[in-house]
Every structure is written in structure tokens, then in C-alpha cells.
Amino acid sequence: MYRGRFAPSPTGPLHFGSLVAAVCSWLDARAHEGEWLVRIEDVDEPRCRPHWGGEILRTLERLGLHWDGPVVWQSRRKEAYRAALERLRRAGLAYPCACTRREAAGRYSGRCRNGLPEGAAARAWRFPVPPGRVGFHDRWQGWFEQDVEEEAGDFILLRADGCFAYQLAVVVDDAGQGVTHVVRGADLLDSTPRQILLQQALGLSQPLYLHHPVAVDGAGRKLSKQNRAPALDPSRDCENLRAALALLGLPPPAEADGAALLSWAVARWRERWTAGAQPAAPSFSASPGPKDCSAR
Ligand code: GLU
């Protein structure tokens, strides 16, 4: 059974860059006749606001991207992250680190790996990265591999401010929710080897990955909240969905509009991306689609 997910961080409203991730993961799940879960990744509490989570969910509904099952909020999953850290710690796969942010800037040197300096207190917990390359087959990007020790170094599991790190939370949640297929932007490609190391350390199964191209602004920078990507304009839902599909290699024909747009896209995605691709499904069958889409 296919189970996919969309995992936005509620640090702002849905923007075009995160819309592409939502559409791509939704399409892949629907084309496989699988489930599509939504998880609000508010593990980084100082940067997240609950009302943005609610706002993102309302935008998904308005666009016709309906999810399955209850929405999971990472801020309510701390016990699961704590248990995973404890398991790693007992297996000798997590160590305390006393370094300040400044001392640990960039790739971490491994200074506290063999014990805290005399008199120093633990501030954070890190994962001791083993030597060697970690690789995986990405459904869109092909083979990708990385020397995690060289490129990232021993990475954080629990931050000095008490927040669990994204890398740990995402691995625990993907496994806890039974996610079989992770579909997300290529900006996260180089996080995946770290996540694979954690899956192996925790004895969790590895999902299949697809990292899609990301939307960039006029200066070639990834659209993100940090780069002040604007919220999606509700009066342009249809145009935005069409642009997201075009970025994913499915430029819709002019007549695919209204509720038919998403069902057209699912049929095309199925032809392109699923192993047992069916012959083209009816192109313009009605399905619950974005509201007001035809009233352009
Ligand atoms: N929460 C992450 C983000 O909004 C996505 C994480 C993921 O898909 O693994 O960038």
C-alpha cells in the first residue's frame, strides 16, 4: 500500500514553492491510488506559528488537495522523538555536545565526540556519523550519494534550546506514519543521506524518494519564506496550479480547467510515473477540484 505525505513547516503561509511540493506529493499518491497524509512540521517551535498551520490546511482544501486521515503536528510528538533519542543513546549512537553555535558553525569537527571537555555541560545531542558514502536511488534525480561525515559531520539530534532536530523528527514520523514514498523538493536531497543513516541506526525501513525540481525567483534563489516568497493569491488558484504542474513537467492544455485540471494531472502522472501505468484515464472526469477554478 502506497502512503505519501506533505510536510510543510508553519513558518508562514503556503507560497508557490511549497505548493509545488504539495501538488507533486498529492499527484504521486493519487496516481498510485495511495493515501496522502499531511504533517505540520512545527518541531522548530521558535520559528513556527500554529495559525500558519491552520492557514496552510485551509489553502490545501481550497485548492482541492484533500488529505487522508488526521493531520499530525510535530509539536505533539515529542515523546516519540525522546524515545528515539534514548534508543540511539543506549546504542552509543548519540553523544552530548557542549559546543556553542559559534564553536560548531559549519561542518562540525567532532570535538565532543570522545567526551565533553573538562567541566563543560551538555548543550545538545549529536549523531556520530560513520565513515563512508551513503547513496540511494531517487526516482527523479537518479543515483545520489554523499560522504556525510565530510559534508555534514556529526549532526544535531536535540538542539541546545530543547527542540528536536528536523532530521530526527522526520525519520521518526515517516516511520511512525508508515510512509512508503517521500516526495519533496530537491533542496532536501542532501538531507536524505542523514535520514537514511538514522533509519539504519533505529532499524526503520527506508521509504522510496522522489525529489522534484524547486521553484526559483528571478535571481535563481529557491522560493522560500526566508526569501519572502509571497502567499498564494486566492484569486489566482487556477493559474498557480497550472504553473506548478508546468514546473513538474505537465503543462496543462488550455481546456483542462476547473475541477478537471487535477484529474487530468493525475492521469498524466500515472502514465509517466507508475510502474503498472494504465492507459490514459478519461481526461476530464469531474472530481472535487479547486473552487472557483473555472471562474477565471
Ligand atoms: N518541513 C520541511 C519543509 O517545509 C519539509 C520536510 C520534508 O518534506 O521532509 O521544508
For ligand 1, say whether the CB of 5 is within 6 Å of any of its atoms. no
**pLDDT score, position 290:** 53
Report CA-CA distances (Å) from 296 to 165, 246, 292: 43, 18, 7
Distance in Å, CA 166 to ligand 1 centroid: 8
For ligand 1, say whether the CB of 170 is within 6 Å of any of its atoms. yes
For ligand 1, say whether the CB of 37 is within 6 Å of any of its atoms. no
For ligand 1, say whether the CB of 8 is within 6 Å of any of its atoms. yes
Distance between CA atoms of residues 92 and 87, nearest Å: 9
The atom of ligand 1 lying closest to the CA of 18 is 4
For ligand 1, say whether the CB of 72 is within 6 Å of any of its atoms. no
Distance in Å, CA 170 to ligand 1 centroid: 8
Lowest-confidence region among 7-11, 29-33, 120-124, 217-221: 217-221
Distance in Å, CA 7 to ligand 1 centroid: 5
Average pLDDT over residues 147-174: 97
Query: 95 - beta bridge partners?
Result: 126
CATH class (in words) of the domain with range 3-75+215-293: alpha beta
Q: What is the pLDDT of residues 234-291, one digit of tens each?
A: 999 999 999 999 999 999 998 887 779 999 999 999 999 876 554 444 333 334 445 4
Distance in Å, CA 6 to ligand 1 centroid: 8
**Closest Cα to residue 246, out of 8, 16, 11?**
16
102 against 79, higher pLDDT: 79
- The 3-state DSSP class for residue 221 equals coil
Helical axes 16-31 vs 50-63, angle rounded to 10°: 60
- The 3-state DSSP class for residue 72 equals strand
Structure letter (DSSP) for residue 15: B
Average pLDDT over residues 58-82: 97
pTM (two decimals): 0.91
**Closest Cα to residue 158, out of 247, 86, 241?**
86
**Closest Cα to residue 248, out of 186, 159, 293?**
186
Q: What is the pLDDT of residues 117-156, one digit of tens each?
A: 899 999 999 999 999 999 999 999 999 999 999 999 999 9
Distance between CA atoms of residues 226 and 9, nearest Å: 12
